[in-house]
Chain A
Amino acid sequence: MGKRVLVTGIGSFWGGRVAQALEKRDDVDVIIGLGTDEPRVELERTEFVRADSSYSILSRIVRATKVDTIVHTFLVVDSTRTSGRQLHETNVIGTMNLLAAAGAPESSVRHIVVKSSALVYGTSYQDPVWFREDTPRVGSVKTRVERSLLEVEGYLRDFALDSPQVAVTLMRFANVVGTDIVTPLSKALELPAVPAIFGFDPSLQFLEEDDVVRSIDFVVGRTTAGVFNVAGDGRLPWSEVAAICGKPLLPLPPLFTGAAVAPLGRLGLVDLPPETLGLLRYGRGVDNRRLKSAGFTYRYTSAGAIENFAQGMRLRSGLGQRPEPYRYQRDVENFFSHSPAVRRPT
């Protein structure tokens, strides 16, 4: 019998693409996509269920569908997208509801995969060059997105201790770039001149969005439990990142950087949250060998991911307005998933 998987955040890049990847697997029988928004990618056999942002209906869904795997991609790591309160609601309360549902005595859940971020290591001048999964964080926790992710990881650790019957996979993703996803760093790289802090040329690590999806697909398929850093090989200086993208650097003052950036943010020119400014000062590297030794192979190095991103960016600017991408329509989806007229492969 195949797996029955619940994917949270189905309306996001992560959830949608992960569900697409899982649909291709023979060993996955059922995929349920839970989200506050409609899916933004075309899905064939994923059932979409709408939920509120703190996922209060989750325990009902788990009870009713008897899923054995939950892929929790619905964690906000980009603080420019939401308010502090909403961030807490989504990340912390949402995860608590999810863990409560999964840990209930009669629960069928045997594997939980949670998407966290390398943001949990913070940035400080005292950081080691490479963070291993068990290297403690050096810098104090200053930003709200980091605080909420650390809280989530804490709950997850407790959950893993209390529920030995459930395999828990915690994945910490480095800076994701790609042709599709938009993050504060990718927005910075799309500006005519790339913001950089004067006097600092930090080494950063990147992960291609395709490797994001492949790594989640990998741990779901193998039920690999544990904490894993997910990041491309190598680190490269921010100046080199800008060079690969063919952009000049725009120096920001090294002192009072946040204050200098704030008015630009108001004008909507540059949107750099504090965790990104930290990265532009000291960079961050995470050791990706644990996931590799579990058997995962990356398709892109850090520099390869940036190259791919730069090619996508050039293609977009060279191409005219594209027709509107996929839009979810309930009737159409219902027809394809449930109508007896549709011939499905058996």
Chain B
Amino acid sequence: MAPPTIAAMPGELHEATRGGALVPIPLEEPVDDPRRSDVDEWGRSERMRALARLLYGPVYRNWFRAEWEGLEKIPKTGGALLVANHAAPLPSDAPVIMHGIEEEVGRPVYGMAEHLFRAIPVVGTLWSRVGGVPADPDNAYRLLREQQQLALVFPEGTKGTGKTYDQRYQLRRFGRGGFVEIAMRAGVPIIPIAVVGGEESMPALFNMPGVAKLLGLPYLPVTANHLVLGPLLGTLVYFPSKFKLRVLDPVRFDVEPDQERYSKSRVMEAAEDIRLQLQDTLHDMLRSRKSVWFG
């Protein structure tokens, strides 16, 4: 018996075509780029960003009453990696930092965060339109080295936002120092920013790891906001804690950019230095803070 043959039906296998190009198609000149929207390669739209600033302005000024120290240390040009402590289950610090720098220094800030946002309908799209970029070494390198932008990272990641209120202002481990390696490779300084006020804007009382796991979330706490405002409003509305931000001196690395790899001990050491500096600054700021609500 002959083996079964798999005969192709004519025309079945490849991309369908319409049979020959329409009209003389190959153009002599390159075609203009007919963009309609201002969404950049990162998904950020300056128009959406401006709208977000307009809406967020009152929160920044009247609710959190953010106050900066050392804003002049943020460079007017060139790439820099901004690094801050991270707090509140629904992080209140990222928008404050981004809004503040964009309003007062006049430069866009790309906020690098968990990929998880991208998977949520509407939220993921809005998040990237207002400047959120998935935290990925490749993305960071392109932003910092090739495009000389400001990028904001929280080295604590979800370890910072997932902690409960009784551990407030206790910096977690700074990952494996990946952010230092990125700054070294990109040849940009790291600018640490200490933030006070974030922890009190949404204090997490206890975590529910079982439920979080079930929902595929990194953490799921019950917050003081839930107790005061109810389960729905409490998830979204912050307490009006006073925000104070202090920009520390830029940390520059005396290494060649674009290296294949950097000494891990050097990277870890630099990461730990920055962590300790931020922790000291937080202690200092808390020492002089008289009120959670009025600063």
Contact = CB atoms under 8 A, between A and B. Distances in A.
Interface of A: 9, 11-14, 36-37, 40-42, 52-54, 74, 76-78, 81-82, 85-86, 89-90, 125-130, 132, 135, 176, 178-183, 197-201, 203, 210, 233-237, 239-240, 243-244, 254, 282, 285, 298-301, 303-308, 312, 315-316, 324-326
B15 A13 contact: yes
Contacts of A76: 13-14
B6 A53 contact: yes
B118 A125 contact: yes
Nearest to A316: B22
Contact of B14 (A9, A52, A243, A326): A9
B138 to A, nearest CB: 4
Interface string B167-197: 0000000000000000000000000000000
B210 interface: no
A44 to B, nearest CB: 15
B39 interface: yes
A254 B123 CA distance: 12
Contacts of A9: 14
A135 B136 CA distance: 12
B11 interface: yes
A208 B34 CA distance: 14
B14 A14 contact: yes
Given A129-B142, A180-B22, A235-B41, 18 more contacts: A41-B20, A54-B6, A78-B14, A127-B134, A178-B21, A180-B19, A199-B123, A210-B26, A234-B35, A234-B41, A236-B39, A240-B35, A285-B41, A303-B33, A308-B25, A312-B22, A315-B22, A316-B22
B208 interface: no
Contacts of A74: 13-14
A199 B125 contact: yes
B104 interface: no
B76 interface: no
Contacts of A12: 13-15, 17
Interface of B: 5-8, 10-23, 25-27, 30-37, 39, 41-43, 115-116, 118-125, 133-134, 136, 138-139, 142
A325 B39 contact: no
B35 A236 contact: yes
A277 to B, nearest CB: 14
Please list the 4 inter-chain residue pairs (A to B) with the smallest Cβ-Cβ separation, ordered nearest first: A199-B121, A325-B19, A12-B14, A304-B31
A132 B138 contact: yes
B23 A315 contact: yes
Contacts of A234: 33, 35, 41
Contacts of A201: 125
A12 B123 CA distance: 42
A303 B125 CA distance: 20
Given A52-B8, A53-B6, A304-B31, A81 B13 contact: yes
Contacts of A304: 30-34
A237 B115 contact: no
7 contacts: A53-B13, A81-B15, A86-B12, A126-B136, A178-B25, A182-B17, A233-B33
Contacts of A197: 121
B19 A183 contact: no
A132 B137 CA distance: 13
Contact of B139 (A36, A129, A244, A308): A129
Contact of A52 (B7, B23, B43, B120): B7
Q: Which among B6, B14, B19, B121 has the highest number of chain A CB atoms within 10 Å?
A: B14
Contact of A128 (B5, B10, B134): B134
Nearest to A54: B6
A278 B275 CA distance: 39
A198 B121 contact: yes
A182 B120 CA distance: 31
A125 B14 contact: no
B20 A129 contact: no
Contact of B15 (A90, A183, A233, A307): A183
A203 B43 contact: yes
B14 A13 contact: yes
Contacts of B7: 52-53
Contacts of B16: 81, 181-182
Nearest to A235: B41
Contact of A82 (B12, B31, B119, B138): B12
A125 B119 contact: yes
B138 A36 contact: no
A182 B124 contact: no
Contacts of B17: 12-13, 40, 180-182
A306 to B, nearest CB: 8
B138 A128 contact: yes
A199 B128 CA distance: 12
Contacts of B118: 125-126, 282
Contact of B125 (A78, A127, A200, A300): A200
Nearest to B18: A180
A182 B139 CA distance: 33
Contacts of A85: 6
Contacts of A176: 15
B33 A301 contact: yes
Contact of B34 (A13, A14, A41, A303): A303
A229 to B, nearest CB: 14
Contacts of A81: 12-16
Contacts of B133: 129
A14 B17 CA distance: 10
